[in-house]
Amino acid sequence: MEASGVDVHEVELRRIRLPLARPFRAAHGTVAERDVLLVRADDGWAECVAPNAPTYTAEYTDGAHHVLRAVLIPRLFEGRGLEDVKGHAMAKAALTTAVLDDELRRSGRTLAEHLGVTRETVPAGIVLGIPDNGSMPALLSEAEAALAAGYRRIKVKVRPGWDVQPVAALRHHFGAPVDLSADANGSYTSVEDVELLDHFGLTMIEQPFAADDLLSHMACAASLSTPVCLDESITSAAMADAALAVGACSIINVKPGRVGGIAEAVRVHDVCVARGVDAWVGGMSETGLGRTVNVALAGLPGFRLPGDLSASSRWFPVDITAPFELEDGMLRVPKQVELRMDVVEAHTTSKEVLTRG
Ligand code: MG
């Protein structure tokens, strides 16, 4: 499963700036454009999903760029593993995914084939950010457009002070059948405040407390009837197993970047399957390149809930691959994905190539 990289001759680190379709705000910050780090290992490409600032986890684009250049790529060229480098999950994921993509291209296989995925489509979900000025009509019209477009679930970003009102408004406006969740990105400090969200039939409440606060998540999961889902807390399959074992959550959001790569994401999936709990694939507002990985991964049988997997146009007016589009609320599991190099070139802000010495 793990790509070795022993045959890789050169690795390119390329930064591109892509404007978002519209600014996106969550409890941990606002983003209006993505400064994306692309990694090429010979003919294989991957996207580093680290955001521009260290506000989701500790990782951020400049930091990932540095550790790739100074530590991870030299190790790859020296034939040493990446395992004894602590942290830097998103940077490691980008490098190992680029190496895997190179291997798959050379053997003419798709990522879905590599993963053993047989589903051809996966259900699409959408994340609604916190609107400017807390505008409820703006939130409702965005949700209305998403449901009309066919999205199978709606997730709303919440934080203390922007929680009960938007969740109640969405539930009141669209009724019980709409699959509705809330994601707090760790912005709560009291179980009582989270309990206020327990009366709206939410499919789940995601990451109410800080990533390392398993005790509050345990208390919350014990007190609420709404399932608790963990995102930022789950940094590995071992953490997933521990969080489920102690009852800190009953659903897990899997992101390959957050857990250090595709192979570890599959191991988290397998933990969820072994424990009989629901899991789904999250997103980091990826370009089509990162979206390809997420959508292929979401085809695994344990991912039984719709993920945060949207059409490309939800995030980017222009994407660096052919856009993902909704088909009756589903996204098609990609075959071979080609980068639109003209779009990549037009948005490139820097490029460096490291060569095996
Ligand atoms: Mg989340």
183's tokens: 């994601």
CA distance 52 to 3: 27
CA distance 354 to 77: 10
For residue 26, the model assigns a pLDDT of: 86
pLDDT, one tens digit per residue, over 203-218 is 999 999 999 999 999 9
349's tokens: 């802000």
What is the full per-residue pLDDT of the chain (357 aa) written as tens digits?
A: 455 677 899 999 999 999 999 888 888 888 889 999 999 999 999 999 999 999 999 999 999 999 999 999 999 999 999 999 999 999 999 999 999 999 999 999 999 999 999 999 999 999 999 998 889 999 999 999 999 999 999 999 999 999 999 999 999 999 889 999 999 999 999 999 999 999 999 999 999 999 999 999 999 999 999 999 999 999 999 999 999 999 999 999 999 999 999 999 999 999 999 999 999 999 999 999 999 999 999 999 999 999 999 999 999 999 999 999 999 999 999 988 899 999 999 999 999 999 998
Q: From the CA of 345, how far away is ligand 1's center (Å)?
A: 31
Q: From the CA of 64, how far away is ligand 1's center (Å)?
A: 20
Q: From the CA of 327, how far away is ligand 1's center (Å)?
A: 25
* Residue at 325: amino acid letter: E
Q: From the CA of 205, how far away is ligand 1's center (Å)?
A: 10
Catalytically annotated residues: 157, 255
Q: From the CA of 86, how far away is ligand 1's center (Å)?
A: 23
For residue 2, the model assigns a pLDDT of: 57
Q: CA 285 from chain center: how many Å? A: 7
Q: From the CA of 333, how far away is ligand 1's center (Å)?
A: 22
What is the C-alpha radius of gyration for the chain, rounded to an integer number of angstroms? 20
Q: In a 3-state reduction of DSSP, which class is residue 352? A: strand
- Which stretches does DSSP call E strand in the chain? 10-26, 29-41, 44-48, 121-123, 125-128, 153-157, 180-183, 205-206, 228-230, 251-254, 278-281, 330-332, 348-355
For residue 1, the model assigns a pLDDT of: 47
Q: From the CA of 167, how far away is ligand 1's center (Å)?
A: 16
